[in-house]
């Protein structure tokens, strides 16, 4: 399964810094843009899929609020 997300990023004093638009609580940094992207993928997996086993299924649901 692939998930596409937008990341906003900028160059800090020493590192590239970024956060996910849909999950602004997920933020990380890297020495290069490539490292930032790799770190963001790792951070996303850790924050959202930490307790989920490698073999899982997904299903779209609708919530009425």
* Domains of the chain, CATH where assigned: 1-65 (3.30.160.250)
pTM comes to 0.73
**What are the pLDDT digits (tens) for 43-61?**
998 887 777 787 888 888 7
User: Between vectors from CA 16 to CA 10 and to CA 20, what angle results, nearest 5°?
Assistant: 65
User: What dihedral angle (degrees, nearest 10) is formed by the CA atoms of 42, 12, 34, 54?
Assistant: 10
* pLDDT, position 1: 62
What's the rounded Cα separation, in Å, for the pair 21 and 8?
7
Is-contact 34 19, C-beta < 8 A? Answer: no
């Amino acid at each position: 399964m692939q998930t596409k997300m937008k990341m906003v990023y900028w160059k800090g004093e020493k590192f590239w810094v970024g956060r996910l638009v849909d999950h602004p609580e997920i933020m990380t940094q890297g020495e290069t843009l490539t490292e930032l992207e790799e770190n963001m993928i790792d951070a996303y997996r850790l924050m959202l899929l930490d307790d989920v086993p490698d073999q899982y299924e997904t299903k779209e649901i609708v919530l009425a609020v």
